[in-house]
Structure 1
Amino acid sequence: MSGEMGDKKMKMIIDVDTGIDDAQAIMMAVSRQDVDVIGITCVSGNVGIDQVCVNTLRVLKFCNRLDIPVFKGAASPFIVEGSLSQARYHHGNDGLGDVPDISPVPPGPSLLQSQGAVQALLELTNQHPGEITLVALAPLTNIALAVKLDAGFGRRLKHMVIMGGNIEGRGNVSSACAEFNFFSDPEGAYITLRELGCPISLVAWETCLHNALSWDWFDQWKTTDTPKARFNFCIIKNGVNRIRNVLKILRYRSCDPVAMAVAVDSSLVLESETMFCTVELQGKVTRGQMVVDWQNSMGGIPNVTVVTKIDLERFAKLMETMLL
């Protein structure tokens, strides 16, 4: 089902730690005529919270959508263990590929809403109960804080789509067994999966690995010549060079747009499974790993629909049209 039901648009909130794939997901959402992004909440993750906020405004300016309210959220996870996990190795020091902002007047913090992200989540869901799809592309700190402040928060959501977690025990960043977003705030992820209380679709790290696009497609995509396309290819240039020419990754992958594609058009999901999922908090090596009860042996009530396969042709089309 697409985001549009008759003339009614899908109301969406996006929770981001804006790096290059968050930027692409935002561009995909705002390119859809059937999606109404009513707010973007920011959280520390790929880079620190202040940079996340500036990056989000920068993306919206390129999309001519600075009318969308942006809210500053949590600067750190529930429990800070050592240095905060960030992903500058892939996203650049500024989170957007270290490409200078050429705008005569770059967007700054003055454009942020005075209200904080968590309070905005609570108020917007009170204003639109049962109507909002929440797309979480970052550590789940803001979401978990909202749940803890108001236990009814999740039940006021229509649906939540998460990019995060893992289903095969494959780690990325500094964890052998955990995905970046869940590893960055294991307690936030644990609380969200356990207590949110609305339907959750989850796009895991391995799902992104298995549903990547060919470099032949990428090379054709790169010929797109629009202002949004030029911005996109500038910010992803260094990261693409790293995964294609240094790491020799065989296909182009960008995780957050996969989750956004699932959110805006759930009919492109070809395979999924609903089951009980939780998050490991204690393991020395496994802290932050998503625990998936594939065998239904833990006795938990199924709480997550794990997406495992999508229609790549339709996903590629979404990636193409978001740059037009």
Structure 2
Amino acid sequence: MLDVDLAMGAPGSDIDDGFALALALADPGIALELVTTVNGNTDVDTATALTLELLQRLGKPDVPVVRGATRPLVRPRARQGSLPADVTVREPREGSAAVAMVDLVRANPGEITVVAVGPLTNVALALRIDPDFAESLKSLVIMGGVFEGQTNNAAMPGEFNIWCDPEAAAAVLDSGVKANWVGLDVTLQVRIEREQALRMAASERQFTAFAGEYTAAWIDHLAEIDEPGITSCAMHDPLAVAAVTRPDILVWRDAHVAVSTADVTRGVMVCDFRCAGSGPDGTPRPAEPNASVAVGVDVAEFNKHFLENLEAIA
């Protein structure tokens, strides 16, 4: 199950979520049963339309897509986006993402891995709907957080997905699920260069050309708006998908993690690898690990896995 705030196909939007969907479909070790959408990179209606459009381009229009949360759990702030004029608006499956998640996991206890590559609102809502949701999962993989550093950005002190809905992240961390967290510590190391994107754009393969065009445009956007001189962009979300069948690509450390919901530190992850913990008076109180955090990545092996699987897509 892939929970995504997909924006590939909208000018000036990030593209790694589209590659994550493509990899989830291409990896022979993954059977993609459901895609859910969430407010994040763009508004949820745009994310839903772009997801359905991309599935059409990928030749997988029958993969079920269910629309999810329109805004974060607590703070009434919804992202805004725009849908390109040439995108056909298709209807997703009826219902809400959180309910669809619960239904699929109830029908297949212990068999479903959820990969969440957007804000965790849908996952948190599923946890609220069904007290057994957490323990009924096979596993939960999350793209989000910074664990050994910080964003150095006062306007967005936490990593984007966690910053968007820190209360949802807190609900997941308190749920009893020991999720695999793939954060900026490792995702910023796996990248696509602009020259590579331009070669992709010139391909005769439909998805490759489409993805290459929007990847080059995204790198140009970053160079113009955010990071002058940058010539590449990170593959955050595909690395989380790769972790499902290739966890060996990453180095993992157990930790007890909490998330700040305060304004000044919104979305900042407090990561205790020692699991030392402390009581209200500051005295030591050991804490159980509630997260497995990726702290290293084999970049060459990820690139091989990523590119070999994408070659299978027309």
TM-score of the two chains, using structure 2 as the length reference? 0.85
Q: Confirm or deny: 8 A CA contact 1:244 1:250 kept in the other structure.
A: yes
* Alignment partner of 2:268 out of 289, 306, 311: 289
Match of 1:17 in 2: 5
Shift of 1:206: 2.6
Amino acid at match of 2:101: L
Match of 2:49 in 1: 54
Match of 1:6 in 2: none
What are the within-5 Å matches in structure 2 for residues 138-153 of structure 1? 138-153=118-133
Q: Confirm or deny: 8 A CA contact 1:178 1:286 kept in the other structure.
A: yes
Shift of 1:291: 1.1
Q: Confirm or deny: 8 A CA contact 2:201 2:213 kept in the other structure.
A: no
Structure 1 stretch 17-26 or stretch 182-191: which is displaced more?
A: 17-26
Q: Partner of 1:305: helix, strand, or coil?
A: strand
Q: What is the alpha-carbon distance in structure 1 between the residues aligned to residue 142 and residue 303 of structure 2?
A: 20
Correspondence 1:228 to 2:207: yes
Q: What is the alpha-carbon distance in structure 2 between the residues aligned to residue 51 and residue 310 of structure 1?
A: 32
Q: What is the alpha-carbon distance in structure 1 between the residues aligned to residue 32 and residue 65 of structure 2?
A: 11
What are the within-5 Å matches in structure 2 for residues 107-126 of structure 1? 107-108=89-90, 110=91, 112-126=92-106
Q: What is the alpha-carbon distance in structure 2 between the residues aligned to residue 156 and residue 47 of structure 1?
A: 30
Change (3 A) 1:288 1:193: same
Q: Confirm or deny: 8 A CA contact 1:85 1:184 kept in the other structure.
A: no
What are the within-5 Å matches in structure 2 for residues 181-192 of structure 1? 181-192=161-172
Q: What is the alpha-carbon distance in structure 2 between the residues aligned to residue 272 and residue 217 of structure 1?
A: 29
Q: Encode CA deviations 1:226-265: one digit per residue, 9 max, x unaligned.
A: 1110111122232111335752236541211111111232
Match of 2:280 in 1: none
Change (3 A) 1:78 1:208: same
Q: Partner of 2:261: helix, strand, or coil?
A: coil
Q: What is the alpha-carbon distance in structure 2 between the residues aligned to residue 214 and residue 67 of structure 1?
A: 32
List alignment gaps of at least 5 residues for structure 1. 1-12
Correspondence 1:210 to 2:195: no
Correspondence 1:66 to 2:61: yes
Q: Supply the RMSD in Å over aligned alpha carbons.
A: 2.3
Match of 1:10 in 2: none
Q: Partner of 1:276: helix, strand, or coil?
A: strand
Match of 2:281 in 1: none
Q: What is the alpha-carbon distance in structure 2 between the residues aligned to residue 308 and residue 217 of structure 1?
A: 27
Shift of 1:42: 0.8
Number of residues of Structure 1 aligned to a counterpart in Structure 2:
294
Match of 2:143 in 1: 163
Q: Encode CA deviations 1:275-319: one digit per residue, 9 max, x unaligned.
A: 11111112x320111111134331321011111222222221233
Change (3 A) 1:238 1:223: closer
Q: Encode CA deviations 1:159-195: one digit per residue, 9 max, x unaligned.
A: 1110011113422877342011101001001001111
What are the within-5 Å matches in structure 2 for residues 1-324 of structure 1? 13-19=1-7, 20-80=15-75, 83-84=77-78, 93-94=82-83, 101=86, 106-108=88-90, 110=91, 112-171=92-151, 175-195=155-175, 197-212=176-191, 224-243=203-222, 247-249=228-230, 251-269=232-250, 271-282=251-262, 284-298=263-277, 299-320=286-307, 321-323=309-311, 324=313
Amino acid at match of 2:56: K
Shift of 1:218: 5.4
Q: What is the alpha-carbon distance in structure 1 between the residues aligned to residue 304 and residue 66 of structure 2?
A: 30
Quote the sequence identity (%): 29
Q: Confirm or deny: 8 A CA contact 1:22 1:257 kept in the other structure.
A: yes
Q: Confirm or deny: 8 A CA contact 1:158 1:198 kept in the other structure.
A: no
Q: Partner of 1:134: helix, strand, or coil?
A: strand
Q: What is the alpha-carbon distance in structure 2 between the residues aligned to residue 190 and residue 125 of structure 1?
A: 21
Q: Partner of 1:36: helix, strand, or coil?
A: coil
Change (3 A) 1:140 1:236: same
Q: What is the alpha-carbon distance in structure 1 between the residues aligned to residue 73 and residue 136 of structure 2?
A: 23
Amino acid at match of 1:74: A
